[in-house]
Amino acid sequence: MSLEQDVVALCRAARAAAPALAGTSTADKNAALRAGAAALRARAGEILAANAADVEAAREEAAAFVDRLTLTPARIDAMAVGLEQIADLPDPVGEVITRWTRPNGLEIAQVRVPLGVIGIIYESRPNVTADAAGLCLKSGNAVVLRGGREAFRTNCLIADVLADAAAATVPRDALQLVRTTDREAVRVLLRQSDSVDVIIPRGGEELIRAISESSRIPVIQHFSGVCQLYVDRAADLALAERLCLNAKAQRPGVCNAIENLLVHREVAARFLPAVGAALRAAGVEIRGCPESLRHLPDARPATDADWDTEYLDLILSIRVVDSLDDAVAFIRRHGSGLADAIVTTDRAAADRFVAAVDSAALFVNASTRFTDGFEFGFGAEIGISTNRLHARGPMGLRELTTYKYVVRGTGQIRE
């Protein structure tokens, strides 16, 4: 078959499998997830070998890119644990969200049902293959996966391992992977509105904008992760330093790492030299506003573009602000609406910040790195949405369902 015929065929196969998967029992779905977890562990050596070939081919890329691509025994085990945790979570399918009875006796229930077929387009993280497959399976959705070319060998093997392991209890065609690195396959996939119900892209802003602009299928968007940490005048500065280091340096190549640090002018002289030394020791390059450079003489001057840049690297921009209101104004102008944090001992200041900043996740005295489905207790996440419709923030099982109304009567007719 041609590339187009191949993509159309696998989308139609997923559509045909979706009703059977939607009706699969919770016990059978959980058995498939646990079998997939066991298979990942059993075949970890094969997966690592495939991943090593992908990593070798990407050795000229940036260190953060290679980190996202690389699997280790611990990361494979984490993928397996994620599947087991999804199996342990309540099944959202069939959940009654609310019910009520009308004066005429009609009983109305709002019931969760799968979305149908989900297309997921992602870049260098091979763990997404397992996370996405697991979440879609548990929520009763067939899935069409299209990973990045840089993880092609790894993704193909992980998809095969999971599909083989799950086939005993769920429809095998419910898990599909586009097995080509040709970008035309993405364009074909985005035209399959008769077979695919929603597209979830995971990757850089350029990828997500390109998909959003060309898709005939609704897209759940997350353009970028320009996250901020604001150190208030009433902050515990030792805590603020620890949170800043974690939010920037613990894993810089992810969307919930901070890119801008905002510091109240009243604490800048005490806080910036200490946090600057700690950041430099962690290998972080600092770019600062003129005021912050007074306290950080080794830092580079920040440009206007820096405040809007998602570095995904060990680079942090620092700005001194005059007030909480100035911090909020900065976040409204430069933030991407994914996650922002405040460090303060002043409850009123924290409440003002939470009320004024309209991001998908807001943190008070905690790291933005917790913006994650696993950390939220979802088991794993399909992505993080900055949309305001349907789903927002980390997307777990419930965010992969919609609902229908079930109305029970005793012969009522409308007069």
Q: Mean pLDDT over all residues of the chain?
A: 94
pLDDT given for residue 200 in this prediction: 93
Give the residue-averaged pLDDT of 336-345.
96
Give the residue-averaged pLDDT of 239-253.
96
pLDDT given for residue 119 in this prediction: 97
pLDDT given for residue 373 in this prediction: 79
Asked whether the beta carbons of 329 and 308 are under 8 A apart, the reply is no
Domain ranges of the chain: 3-223, 227-370
Between residues 306 and 85, the one the model is more confident about: 306
pLDDT given for residue 379 in this prediction: 66
For 201-226, write each residue's pLDDT tens digit.
987 778 888 999 999 999 988 778 89
Domain 227-370: state its class.
alpha beta
166: number of Cβ within 10 Å? 26
Interacting residues of 329 by C-beta distance below 8 A, sequence separation 6+? none
pLDDT above 90 (res 81): yes
pTM greater than the 0.85 cutoff: no
pLDDT given for residue 392 in this prediction: 87
CATH 3.40.605.10 corresponds to the domain 3-223: yes
For 150-204, write each residue's pLDDT tens digit.
999 999 999 999 999 999 999 999 999 999 999 999 999 999 999 999 999 987 7
376: number of Cβ within 10 Å? 15
pLDDT given for residue 60 in this prediction: 82
pLDDT given for residue 162 in this prediction: 97
CA distances to 140, 188, 370 from 227, in Å: 33, 33, 12
pLDDT-based confidence at residue 59 (cuts at 50, 70, 90): confident
Q: Which long-range contacts (CB under 8 A, 24 or more apart) does 354-358 make?
A: 356/328, 357/328, 357/331, 357/332, 358/332
Asked whether the beta carbons of 270 and 301 are under 8 A apart, the reply is no
Give the residue-averaged pLDDT of 264-276.
98
For 353-383, write each residue's pLDDT tens digit.
999 999 999 999 999 999 987 788 876 678 7
pLDDT > 70 fraction of the chain, expressed in percent and rounded: 99
Distance of CA 147 to the CA centre of its chain: 15
244: number of Cβ within 10 Å? 26
Interacting residues of 52 by C-beta distance below 8 A, sequence separation 6+? none
Give the residue-averaged pLDDT of 89-97.
96
Give the residue-averaged pLDDT of 251-266.
95
